[in-house]
Amino acid sequence: MNNLPAHVAIIMDGNGRWAERRGLPRLAGHLAGVNRIRSVVATLLDNQVRYVTLYGFSSENWSRPEEEVQGLFQILEDRIGQEAAEMHQQNIRIKHAGRLHELPLGVGNAIGRACSLTQHNNGMVLIFAFNYGGRQELADAARKIVEQNIPPTKIDEQIFAANLYTAGIPDVDLVIRTGGELRISNFLLWQAAYAEFYFTKILWPDFTPKQVQRALSAFTKRKRRFGGL
């Protein structure tokens, strides 16, 4: 396909509902969702998508039942080492977006090790947004700018972008949201300013490579104007 997006961001929604419809505990849905990541990333890699951002856990998700939150953390801690090793073999670089220091030590260390292992890879960049919030990111960027004593007259879009979690990463071209909801949910508010959106009712664990191809095909049919005619 021509005119494919360079940066795809995915709101991986619907794990809990996927489990509930099957009479399973919600954590079974989160495990199925983690298992889905590999095939989706592989499909995007095959299509030469250069940057992928996955929304794994928002700063608002802390309000969910403690058992579910802690279970999700345990799944991630148990799996990220294996997944990172395989992605390392594929020359994928893993980065984190969000407040890592607020996470349990085991999870934070696991994410940190994955980032360190793959830091010199020069293939696809996979940004894992975990304990992430768009407004939180903007506030953190503003704080960093103040700490650098940058004069107000010198602050522009380039300075602000350079202080985001995604500094050095191009803006998002395509945002995919599974699960049927039609909202951005505090995700990449700055980076998705001119992104195209693709919404599907398919729940994340059922979002197959075929569905990825449909989303990419839909993107190629869009005419992007970036505010112009």
CB 100 within 8 A of CB 112: yes
Task: Mark whether 13 is an active-site residue.
Answer: yes
What residue type is assigned to position 19 of the chain? A
Q: How far apart are CA 15 and CA 18, in angstroms?
A: 5
Half-sphere exposure of 195 (CA within 13 A, CB side): 25
- Residue tagged active-site, from 13, 15, 131, 173: 13
Task: Mark whether 91 is an active-site residue.
Answer: no
CA 121 to chain centre: 19
**Cα–Cα distances in angstroms (integers) from residue 186 to residues 1, 11, 59, 137, 165, in the given order:** 30, 10, 9, 10, 14
- Residue tagged active-site, from 61, 109, 121, 186: 61
Active site residues: 13, 61
